[in-house]
Amino acid sequence: MVVMISVENLTKRYGGYTAVDDVSFAVRPGAVTGFLGPNGAGKSTCMRMMCGLTPPTSGTATVLGKPYAALPNPGRHVGVLLDASAQHAGRTGREVLTLGAMVMGIDRSRVDEMLDLVGLSESEASRRIRNYSLGMRQRLGIAHALLGDPQVLILDEPANGLDPAGIRWMRGLLRGYADEGGAVLLSSHLLHEIEVVADELVVIGRGSIVAQGTKAELMAASGTTVRTTDDAAFAGLLQQAGLGVTPTASGLQVEADPLAIGQVAARHGVVLTELRQASSAGLEEMFLQLTAYDAREEVAA
């Protein structure tokens, strides 16, 4: 399998505190990989290590087979957006992109293409960044990440500050980029922001990977929701059949596919009022369970 980003046993310690603990995963071309975890779980630290901004304590991170710092003219290969607020407040949006084009050695006509792509008008592009909203800074940051026509995008919380229309626009942009063969690593602490667009998910909590796989695999792992006229009695029958059952507010969460559950119901004449494969709601429940111990603001990202 072709790998665009490879993270192997990546660890970062600050004194006695371990921010990232033995993290390994890969990002392939043609896919959007969602990097999920609560605030403070270690996502930003991982991404800073991938981009050469924070030295790892141990482990490696490579992009296109090399450490980021070893890439010639890296902006032509990897587009990065780690902090939309870290742009020079006194420059205009156009000036930021023009300077980027000069540094990368690309035609300045690309600046107009990117401004059009991200929906910044001429008047907005001529405005000082100190007068930009966070959503406008995010759009400018995405324009800068795409400026060099890179093969890989590394984006940390790019939906922050975007309104619902902006989030939908961003999803479409990233989906189109991946469909053309690009690789996207997209971090968020909010599952619904990227659940629609992501092909693969990496879930991190307290600095360690707690789950990873395709979206379909993780949804299957979260089981099937079932409701009957007597949930308690049916739970006992399912357990007798060797199936894992967890009562929830919406019925029973069963660690099996709908066919296996339906067969148990048919054998015992149980009336089912609901039977459905885990949906995004099931995926969200799994995400919250996996990261519940780390869902707090105080931990450093």
In the 3-class helix/strand/coil scheme, how is 103-124 assigned residue by residue? HHCCCCHHHHHHHHHHCCCHHH
pLDDT tens column, 42-84: 999 999 999 999 999 999 999 999 999 999 999 999 999 999 8
Query: What number of other Cβ atoms are within 10 A of residue 209's Cβ?
Result: 19
Find the mean pLDDT for residues 108-131: 96
Contacts by 188-192, CB closer than 8 A, 24 or more apart: 188/34, 188/35, 188/36, 188/157, 188/159, 189/36, 189/37, 189/38, 189/39, 189/41, 189/43, 189/157, 190/159, 191/36, 191/280, 191/283, 191/284, 191/287, 192/280, 192/284
Q: CA-to-CA distance for 141 and 74, rounded, in angstroms?
A: 16
Residue listed under structure tokens 């067969």? 263
For residues 140 and 118, the answer to whether their CB atoms sit within 8 Å is: yes
Which of 256, 76, 82 is CA-nearest to residue 152? 76
Amino acid making up residue 64: L
Q: Which residue has the tokens 């931990």?
A: 299
The mean pLDDT of 200-222, rounded to a whole number, is 85
- Is the pLDDT confidence value at 254 over 50? yes
At residue 15, the pLDDT reads 94
d(CA 85, CA 82): 9
pLDDT of residue 189: 81
First to last CA, the chain: 31
Which CATH code, of 3.40.640.10, 1.10.3720.10, 1.20.1730.10, 3.40.50.300, is assigned to 5-218?
3.40.50.300
Distance CA(7)–CA(127), nearest Å, equals 39
Q: Of all residues in the chain, what percent carry a pLDDT higher than 70?
A: 91
**Which pTM value belongs to this model?**
0.81
In the chain, ranges of CATH 3.40.50.300 domains: 5-218
Q: What percent of the chain has pLDDT over 90?
A: 71
Tell me the average pLDDT of the chain.
90
> Using an 8 Å Cβ cutoff, are 70 and 221 in contact?
no
Lowest mean pLDDT among 6-10, 95-99, 165-169: 165-169
Average pLDDT on 112-131 reads 96
Distances (CA, A) of 186 to 33, 101, 169: 6, 24, 15
Other Cβ atoms less than 10 A from the Cβ of 224: the count is 24
Asked whether the beta carbons of 64 and 77 are under 8 A apart, the reply is: yes
**Calpha distance 39→115 (Å, rounded):** 30
What is the arithmetic mean of pLDDT over 142-146? Answer: 97
What does the chain come to in residues?
301
Q: Is 102 exposed, middle or buried (0-12, 13-18, 19+ CB in 10 A)?
A: exposed
Q: What is the pLDDT of residues 275-295, one digit of tens each?
A: 987 655 556 666 776 666 655
Q: What is the predicted pLDDT for the residue at 297? A: 43
Q: Which pLDDT belongs to residue 294?
A: 55
Sequence letter at residue 104: M
- pLDDT mean over 117-123: 96
